[in-house]
Amino acid sequence: MLRYIVKRLLQMIPTLIGVSLLCFIIIHSVPGNPAHLIAGVDATAEEIKIVTERLGLDRPLYEQYGSYVWGLLQGDLGTSLRSDRPVAEEILSRFPNTIMLTLLSVVIMVIIGLFAGVISATKPNSVQDNTAMMVSLFGISMPVFWSGIMLILVFSYYLQWLPSGGSTQFKHYILPALALGFSSSAVLARLTRSSILEVINQDFIRTARAKGVREKLVIYKHTLKNALIPIITIIGLEFGHLLGGAVLTETVFSMNGLGRYIIQSIQFRDYPAIQGSILFVAALFVIVNLVVDLCYGSVDPRIRYD
């Protein structure tokens, strides 16, 4: 397994290089010059030129990218053009809020998604099944930012039970986590239903029932356990989706997280901050995929890592 982990970590290198290059090209293809924002609205052409040269934006793109990669090799994500602070420090100061929101969303997703999927699969074509699938279709169709606004309207404005923004207390995470988790739980519920339906009619399930095993044990110990691999896969993929969804959700709920930091950096054309944040999220997503692959072995002992 150690050899497999090392191999996968080494495969991260070309992936992250590709991400950094693609991000660099896209950012620098957008018209405009961040020196205009830094110099100010009333800055003269000479002042803008001085700022451009100080930031190194007048150099050829290949030189700028080469300097950026050289900094990455030394563990330096660059310096923010907006705050003049190291990008790594700004990312790490905001990341705990984002990971807290993401993990809470995953918990909500798993609880709602698994419960709805199991109910639908064990009672196919019933009222419970049709209701769960209709709700899941609604959850998939609704944008996360719209769900967030509706939650604010109901629970913050009308009922005044929960705050509409912030990230300093646990109660600040409830509404954004519900907005993210409910949308992803809809995907998980549909996949759980289809996975269980594929397993529940197999011979070993009929044998367990014939032996008199209780129905709950048949469902949760035998059926669900053997349907877990696609479920674990979608949970890992949705984790990355939730990190991406946090960009808009944190903005809607005014949370001081990595997603909102990315939006603010894009608005300011803060090249190092945008590149560093996207590269950080990409690396995290690759690591999550590795953890998901390692979980397969604990679910199915037949899986070997060579």
The larger pLDDT score, comparing residue 44 to residue 115, is at 115
Q: What is the pLDDT of residue 302?
A: 67
Tokens 């191999």 correspond to what residue? 7
pLDDT tens for residues 144-190? 888 888 888 888 888 888 888 777 788 888 888 888 888 888 888 88
Please count the residues of the chain.
306
> d(Cα 217, Cα 147) in Å, to the nearest integer?
36
pLDDT tens for residues 13-31? 888 888 888 888 888 777 7
The pLDDT mean for the chain works out to: 81
Tokens 């991000």 correspond to what residue? 23
Q: What is the pLDDT of residue 271?
A: 82
> Nearest CA to 253 among 163, 181, 187?
163
Q: What is the pLDDT of residue 146?
A: 84
**Residue 244 pLDDT > 80, yes or no?**
no
Backbone angles phi, psi at 180, to 5 degrees: -75, -45
pLDDT tens for residues 252-275? 888 888 888 888 888 888 888 888
pLDDT tens for residues 211-226? 777 877 777 777 777 7
Confidence of residue 301 (pLDDT cuts 50, 70, 90): low
Backbone angles phi, psi at 86, to 5 degrees: -60, 135
As beta bridge partners, residue 86 has 79
**Residue 33 pLDDT > 80, yes or no?**
no
Burial 85-109 (b: 16+ CB within 10 A, else e): ebbeebbeebbebbebbbebbbebb
**Residue 240 pLDDT > 70, yes or no?**
yes
* CB atoms near residue 112 (< 10 Å): 22
Q: What is the pLDDT of residue 306?
A: 60
Q: What is the pLDDT of residue 157?
A: 83
DSSP character at residue 86:
B
Nearest-5° angle of CA 137, CA 141, CA 152?
Answer: 110
- Structural domains in the chain, sorted by start: 94-299 (1.10.3720.10)
What is the gyration radius of the CA atoms in the chain, in angstroms? 24
As beta bridge partners, residue 146 has none
Task: Return the structure tokens found at 228.
Answer: 């877990």
Q: What is the pLDDT of residue 120?
A: 84
